[in-house]
Amino acid sequence: MKLSLNTQTNLKRALLSILIGLLLVGVVLKVSGYRPLECYKALWEGATGLSSGKPVSVSDKGFSVGGWEAHFSTYTFAQTLATFTPLLFCGLAIAIGIRAGLFNIGAQGQMTVGAMAAATVGAIGTNGSLQPVTGTLPPVVHLTLTLLAGVLVGGLWGAIAGVLKAKRGVHEVLSTIMLNYVAINLTNYFATHNLKDPNPSNMAAQTGLIAKSAWLAPLIARSNLTIGVAIAVLSAMGLAFLLWRTAFGYEIRAVGLGAEAARTAGIPLSKILIQTMALSGALAGAAGALEVMGIHHRFVQGTAGDYGFDGIAVALLGSVHPFGIVLSAAFFGALNNGANLMQLQTDAPKTVAVVIQAVIILLVGLRFKPKETPAPTTEKEE
Amino acid sequence: MGNSWLIALVTSTLFSAVPLVLAAMGGVLSERSGVVNIALEGFMLAGAFVGFYFGLHSVPMGIFAVLITGAILGLLHAFFTQKARMNPVVSGLGLNLLLAGATRYLALRLFPEGGHIDGLSPNLFLGLAILLPFLLLFTLNQTKFGLRLRAVGENPESARMAGIAPHPPRYWAVMLSGICGTTAGAYLSMADAHTFTSDMSAGKGYVALAAVIFGKWNPLGAAGGALFFGFFYALQTQLQINQYHLNALGIEWTSPFLLDCLPYLMTLLALVSVIGRATPPAALSIEED
């Protein structure tokens, strides 16, 4: 698949898309009988942690601007950053695929199997105990192994679609969607059978707790924010380096610009397709592993949330560039977290965040170039 | 018992295939005109939603809403991909996300307690699903519209040289594709479940698209593909209904989770076995290698 995707989404268009998306949802909320301004206020407070009035809890930092009292909730902001982390990983996963002309819709499944792998390796040394145990491995070793398990298994799951594409020409959009359903059902099977939570009173599809030696501690008390956020940002920098400063990155981009031309130039097409899908899956797998290590401390059904699909919007809004994706992941992290608070405070369903996301994808994708002059490099093979 | 079990399986296969066949015909129409259409998944969901919601008032109104919604959504996808020159996969994903979010939101607002409709007889949809592939085959091969549609799908440049503008046949094809998609969804809510639940299409739009590829973009082939996938949906349902148990090698093969994988795994296997030997409409491969 050759994507005739305009990767040069400029900042103006991105901001305009966001604005239209937000306004449209305001109209929808108004029509459904909610008070849009109240909703926006809750959305803003949940997104940034900034709100007016005196501090209300210990994690709030009070300040005043020209006599106007306001406070900053470090907890809320930490939650936004915690949501930012998997969004960034998934956005990067989708982006590297698109750079090679591959549309990986399977980040959801890859993240899910990554989470399951991390929960399995993280449970080393627990012996099915119901209480959290310290574990037998040194934390540094155990943390590394657990994260690597997620990366590896996510990568392998992604590589399946790469092999099918390279060897049999199966379109990756269809294969990754099918693999998503398989991944979700398969992990649910394991979470209810072989790797079931040993606690007999538990009825949910989840595994037992992982050992404490594989837990990531929260950076802000009680929040979901862990060191994972730094790993995500480092991955973005690493990916930018890989794409523009290494031979492998050059080959990925060459394949993305024209698979046949790249093959003619002596680039091993099959190998690049498989490796790119593996790398894409590995990034999504890392997101799954970090969710397990930092938040749930076990695999629970739906660990991957909707991050895999959200990643598509993140990548497109971020113009498929690692640094742009850092910004767009921050926006979507804020949006998701804001929508949660909005639902709590105003009862307006947080599903509206999905609508905003969809509107942004569509607006960013519009091109309207003159139809008589298709750009040969982005539109046609020859 | 054996015989009635077989009859149940065959019946179940036919009815599981109905939404897949209807959506697959939408896939054939759109893709033969040169427009990739993964938005079928969202179209199904939208059709299921409006069919149920307006069907609560009256069944004819439900049918009318399904057809109108399909036409509008189809035209929207056509507009995005043709006039706005959006990548068809991006347009499809965006529409799917929009329709999933919108139907979930509206379902929460309009009928938080769910609801029940008598709706329509499944046999009506079955009849449609039997008729439509032949009708489409005839249209594609024997009518001027079909010829133009295939011309712009195979080679838009030559079609243009021959005086056929690529856009009109594509707008028609994708609009009709939208109607097929929402009709397939209407079967789910109006004739099968008799209610609407969020995300009830559960990937059937994508499976239908796989059936199109499996059937090599031919209406009868795609219907055959839909029947093939329908069999695995049916097998999964029948094994669960009959509470058949099979445990071997320490694995509970008949666990609902593993049975749920079946249609998707078979779709994957079918794609692996067929592609490479199937030739997509040439204009689709402008964007493929």
ipTM of this predicted complex? 0.81
Share of chain A above pLDDT 70, in %: 93
Q: Which token pair is B153?
A: 């799908």
Any residues with CB less than 8 A from the CB of A237 and at least 6 apart, and which? A322
Interchain proximity A349–B109, CB inside 8 Å: yes
CATH of the domain at B41: 1.10.3470
Maximum distance among all Cα pairs of chain B, rounded to whole angstroms: 65
What is the rounded distance in angstroms from the CA atom of residue A237 to the CA atom of residue A245?
Answer: 11
The pTM score is 0.86
Confidence of residue B173 (pLDDT cuts 50, 70, 90): very high
Kindly tell me the sign of the dihedral angle through the C-alpha atoms of A28, A30, A32, A34: positive
Q: N- to C-terminal Cα distance for chain B? A: 51
What is the rounded distance in angstroms from the CA atom of residue B117 to the CA atom of residue B99?
Answer: 22
**Of residues B202 and B76, more confidently modeled:** B76
- In the predicted structure, residue B94 carries a pLDDT above the cut 60: yes
Q: What is the DSSP letter of A218?
A: P
Which of A1, A365, A366 is nearest residue B288 as measured by Cβ atoms?
A1
Which amino acid is present at A96?
A: I
Percent of chain B as helix, strand, coil, to the nearest 5: 75, 0, 25
Any residues with CB less than 8 A from the CB of A329 and at least 6 apart, and which? A84, A87, A88, A91, A314, A318
Q: Which token pair is B269?
A: 């296997």
Strand A50-52 to B247-248 pairing: unpaired
Within 10 A of A370 (CB to CB), how many other CB atoms are there? 7
Maximum distance among all Cα pairs of chain A, rounded to whole angstroms: 68
- Chain A contacts of B90, Cβ < 8 Å? 5, 316, 361-362, 365
- Chain B contacts of A380, Cβ < 8 Å? 286
Q: Could you tell me which residues are beta bridge partners of residue A60? A: A73
Which amino acid is present at B266?
A: M
CB A321 within 8 A of CB A124: no
- Chain A contacts of B288, Cβ < 8 Å? 1-2, 171
For chain A, the structural domain boundaries read: 11-366
- pLDDT one-digit tens code per residue, B176-190: 999 999 999 999 999
Q: Is B216 on the interface with A (CB under 8 A)?
A: no
SS (H, E, C) A44-67: HHHHHCEEECCCCCCCEEEEEECC
Q: Is B255 on the interface with A (CB under 8 A)?
A: yes
Q: Does domain A11-366 have CATH number 1.10.3470?
A: yes
- pLDDT one-digit tens code per residue, B115-160: 888 878 888 899 999 999 999 999 888 888 888 888 888 877 788 8
Interchain proximity A5–B276, CB inside 8 Å: no
CB B183 within 8 A of CB B47: yes
What is the rounded distance in angstroms from the CA atom of residue A51 to the CA atom of residue A73?
Answer: 8
CB B170 within 8 A of CB B61: no
Q: Is B247 on the interface with A (CB under 8 A)?
A: no
Confidence of residue A160 (pLDDT cuts 50, 70, 90): very high
Q: Which token pair is A250?
A: 């050059």
- pLDDT one-digit tens code per residue, A173-194: 888 988 998 999 899 888 887 7
**Of residues A202 and B138, more confidently modeled:** B138
Q: So what's the pLDDT on residue A97?
A: 93
Confidence of residue B57 (pLDDT cuts 50, 70, 90): confident
User: What value does the mean pLDDT take over residues B11-15?
Assistant: 90
- Chain B contacts of A320, Cβ < 8 Å? none
Which of A260, A355, A381 is nearest residue B98 as measured by Cβ atoms?
A355
